[in-house]
Amino acid sequence: MGDPVNVAEAVGRTLAVLGVRGVFGVVGSGNFHVTNALVAHGARFVAARHEGGAATMADAYARVSGTVAVLSVHQGPGLTNAMTGVAEAAKSRTPLVVLAGEATDVRSNFHIDQDALARAVGAVPMRISSAADAVEETVAALRTARRERRTVLLNLPLDVQATTVEPQPAPADAADRAAREAAGTPQGEAEAASGEGSGAPGEAVVPGEADVARLVRLLAGARRPVFVAGRGARHARHELEELAARTGALLATSAVARGLFRGSPWDLDVSGGFATPLAAELIRDADLVVGWGCALNMWTTRHGTLIGERAAVVQVDVDERAIGAHRQVALGVVGDTAATARAVTAALRPAGGAVARRDRRAPELARRIRAEGRWRDVPYADESGGGRIDPRTLTIALDDLLPVERIVAVDSGNFMGYPSMFLDVPDEQGFCFTQAFQSIGLGLATAIGAALARPDRLPVAALGDGGALMSAAELETVVRLGLPMVVVVYDDEAYGAEVHHFGPHGHSLDLVRFPPADLAAVARGHGFDAVTVTHPSELAGVAAWLNGPRDRPLLVHAKVTRDHPSWWLEEAFKGH
C-alpha cells in the first residue's frame, strides 16, 4: 500500500475505502489531515460555516442516502459547537461517525472530556488508541454506526494522529466486504429518540412463529384495523401494503415516515398532531392499531387520544426495548417490519377466504379519503390582511407552485405544522424531519444534507424567523454549493411558540418578540434571490423564480398572520 502514512491519513483513507462518501464539517488543525485523506480517497467534503450546521447536514444526508455519513470537527470547541446536531442524530439512531481531534493534554485550551460529552447525548464514544490498531478501530467505529444504527464519536488524539502506520496491504476481499457494509442501506430514518421505532433492514430480525400466529388472529378478528408505520418501516412499504390489502387495514405513518404510502387510496397520511380530521376520526375508530417500527409515542397518538378506548394495540419492532416503551400493548412482536409483514401475509388464509377485504375498504371510504384526506381540502377562513399572509394560504399556494419532486425539511416552532401538513411530498424520501431533540435552528442544514443526498429533487427548507436567524450562517453554504433550494421563512417577528405558550397567562412577552428584520435583504447579502410576501399576489415572485434559470437559491420571506397559536402547538403544550 505504498509509503508509510500517519494515523490521521490512515483513518481517513480507511473510511473512504470502506465506502464513506458524504463528509461534512469545519476544518481545523486537529481534523485537517483526516479530512484531506477522506477527500483524496474519493469522499466528498462539504464545508459548513458552523459545526452545528455540519452535524445536521451529515445527519440528514445519512437519513436520505441510507449510508453512513461522517462529520469532521476540530478538538474541543469544534465538537461542542456540533453537539446539538449530534444529539439529534444520536436520538434518531442515525448511523453517523463523528471524527474529532482530541487534546488529551489537560493543559491544552482545547481539552475537555469528549467521551463524557458524547455519552451525555447518547452517542457512542470510541477512540483511535495506537498506530497499530488505527485501521481496525476505524472499521469498528464504522461497523457500530452501521450495524447498531448509532452515532459514534471517534476521537483522534493529537499525539496518536501524528504517529506512523506501517504500510499494510489491505486484503481485497475484506475491503470489498467492508465497503458493502459501510455503503449499505440502513434506512437510517429516525423518529423521536424517545424510542420511536426502529427496525432497519440489513440482517432482518425474523419474528417468532407464535407471535406471527397471534398477530394473524388479531388481524383476522379485527373489523377496522389501522397500520401506523414509523421510521422502522420505511423499507417495508410493499410488504405492509400487501398485508393491508389482505386485511382491509388503512395506512398511516408517524411524522418521520411521512409520504410512505403516497399514492395508495388508503393512505391517511400522518397520525398525530398533524393528522387531518378525517385521519383522526378513522384512527380513533379503529378496533386494532398496529404500530410498525413506530413507538406510538405521545406525538404519534396525540397523547393517546387517537387510540380508541377499546382498540387493541400491537407493536412490531426490531428492538425489544421499544415495545411498550410509550404505551401498553396487547401484543409486541420483535421482528423486522418487512419480514414480519411477509410472514403474517403468508400465514393468512388465501385471499377470498375468511380474511378477505374488510368493510372498511368500501368505495365510499376511498371517496372520502380522496375528498378530505389532505389538509388543504379542509375549509378555513383566510385571515390574510394588514400586510400579513395567512400561513395556510401561503403554504397551499406554494404546494401548487413548487414541483412535486421535492424534498421538504422543517424546523421547529409554532409555524412547523403548516409546511408539514400543507406541502405534499412524493414519498417517504420527500420529507426529512430532524425533530427528535426538538431543537430550533436545524431546518436549513437538514435541507442542505437532504438536497445533497437527492440532487434530483427541489429542496424546500421551511423555517421560522427565529430558526432562520439562528442558522443564517449556512445561507452562504447553500449559495456556495449551488443548491437550487427554496427557503421559506414564516416570519411572525417573534418566538411565536413562546408568545402563544405564555401570552394567555398574562406574562410579559418582551423577551420573545423582535422588531421587523429584513430577511430578504439578509438572504440577498448571501447571494440568494429573495421575495417578500405580505399578500398572496406577491407569490408571483416565486413563480417567476421557478420559471427562471434557478441559478441562485430563493428565499421567500413571508410575513405571516400571528393572532393565535396553531392547533398542533396547543396540542404540544400538553406535553410540556
Q: Are 31 and 100 in contact (CB under 8 A)?
A: yes
**Interaction between residue 230 and ligand TPP (CB under 6 A):** no
Provide the minimum distance between the beta carbon of 483 and ligand TPP in the complex, in angstroms, as a whole number. 21
441's contact among Mg ion, ligand TPP, none, with CB below 5 to 8 A by partner kind, is ligand TPP
Mode of pairing for the β-strands spanning 44-47 and 96-102: unpaired
Q: Are 474 and 553 in contact (CB under 8 A)?
A: no
**Interaction between residue 465 and Mg ion (CB under 5 A):** yes
Q: Which of 51, 267, 269, 492 contacts ligand TPP by CB under 6 A?
A: 492
Q: Are 58 and 71 in contact (CB under 8 A)?
A: yes
Annotate each residue in 362-401 with x if it binds ligand TPP (CB under 6 A) or - if it does not, as one string.
----------------------------------------
Q: Which of 466, 484, 553, 565 contacts ligand TPP by CB under 6 A?
A: 466
Closest residue to ligand TPP, judged by C-beta, is 464
**Interaction between residue 443 and Mg ion (CB under 5 A):** no
412's contact among ligand TPP, Mg ion, none, with CB below 5 to 8 A by partner kind, is ligand TPP
Q: Are 190 and 56 in contact (CB under 8 A)?
A: no
Please, which residues bridge with residue 489 across strands? 463, 557
Q: Which is nearer to ligand TPP, 190 or 494 (CB)?
A: 494
Provide the minimum distance between the beta carbon of 455 and ligand TPP in the complex, in angstroms, as a whole number. 27
427's contact among ligand TPP, Mg ion, none, with CB below 5 to 8 A by partner kind, is none
**Interaction between residue 495 and ligand TPP (CB under 6 A):** yes
Q: Which is nearer to Mg ion, 94 or 393 (CB)?
A: 393
CA distance 110 to 69: 25
CA distance 70 to 450: 14
- Per-residue H/E/C for 507-534: CCCHHHECCCCCHHHHHHHHCCEEEEEC
Annotate each residue in 415-444 with x if it binds ligand TPP (CB under 6 A) or - if it does not, as one string.
x----------------------xxxx---
Q: Are 334 and 320 in contact (CB under 8 A)?
A: yes
Spell out the residues 6+ positions from residue 267 whose beta carbon is closer than 8 angstroms to its own. 251, 252, 261, 369, 373
**Interaction between residue 9 and Mg ion (CB under 5 A):** no
Q: Which is nearer to Mg ion, 243 or 394 (CB)?
A: 394
Provide the minimum distance between the beta carbon of 568 and ligand TPP in the complex, in angstroms, as a whole number. 11
CA distance 516 to 512: 13
Listed ranges 45-53, 95-103, 331-339, 494-502: which one lies at the site for Mg ion (CB under 5 A): 494-502
In this structure, which amino acid lies at residue 93?
R
CA distance 420 to 572: 15
Please, which residues bridge with residue 152 across strands? 97, 124
Q: Which of 494, 522, 531, 558 contacts ligand TPP by CB under 6 A?
A: 494
Q: Which of 92, 300, 393, 414 contacts ligand TPP by CB under 6 A?
A: 414
Q: Which is nearer to ligand TPP, 183 or 469 (CB)?
A: 469
Spell out the residues 6+ positions from residue 546 whose beta carbon is closer than 8 angstroms to its own. 401, 402, 403
Provide the minimum distance between the beta carbon of 562 and ligand TPP in the complex, in angstroms, as a whole number. 8
In this structure, which amino acid lies at residue 147?
R
Q: Which of 242, 476, 498, 570 contacts ligand TPP by CB under 6 A?
A: 498
Listed ranges 66-74, 101-109, 273-281, 406-414: which one lies at the site for ligand TPP (CB under 6 A): 406-414
Applying CB under 6 A, the site for ligand TPP has a residue count of 19
**Interaction between residue 565 and ligand TPP (CB under 6 A):** no
**Interaction between residue 496 and ligand TPP (CB under 6 A):** yes
Across the chain, how many H-helices and E-strands are there?
A: 22, 20
Provide the minimum distance between the beta carbon of 532 and Mg ion in the complex, in angstroms, as a whole number. 15
Q: Which is nearer to Mg ion, 441 or 496 (CB)?
A: 496
Cα 26 to Cα 34, 74, 148, 222, 280, distances in angstroms: 12, 7, 26, 54, 44
**Interaction between residue 76 and ligand TPP (CB under 6 A):** no
Q: Would you give the end-to-end CA distance of the chain in angstroms?
A: 57
Q: Which of 497, 523, 554, 556 contacts ligand TPP by CB under 6 A?
A: 497
Phi-psi region of 440 (alpha: psi -120 to 50; beta: other; left: phi over 0): beta
**Nearest alpha carbon to residue 162 among 23, 34, 36:** 34
Q: Which of 413, 449, 459, 553 contacts ligand TPP by CB under 6 A?
A: 413
CA distance 298 to 293: 15
Q: Which is nearer to Mg ion, 76 or 466 (CB)?
A: 466
Residue given cell 420483535 in the structure block = 334
**Interaction between residue 411 and Mg ion (CB under 5 A):** no
Q: Are 33 and 83 in contact (CB under 8 A)?
A: no
In this structure, which amino acid lies at residue 419?
P
CA distance 30 to 26: 11
CA atoms within 13 A on the CB side of 457: 27
Site for ligand TPP in 263-322 (CB under 6 A): none
Q: Which is nearer to ligand TPP, 57 or 279 (CB)?
A: 57
Q: Which of 88, 492, 529, 571 contacts Mg ion by CB under 5 A?
A: 492
Given the rule CB under 6 A, which residues bind ligand TPP?
Answer: 412-415, 438-441, 464-467, 490, 492, 494-498
- The residues that touch Mg ion, with contacts defined as CB under 5 A, are 464-466, 492, 494, 496
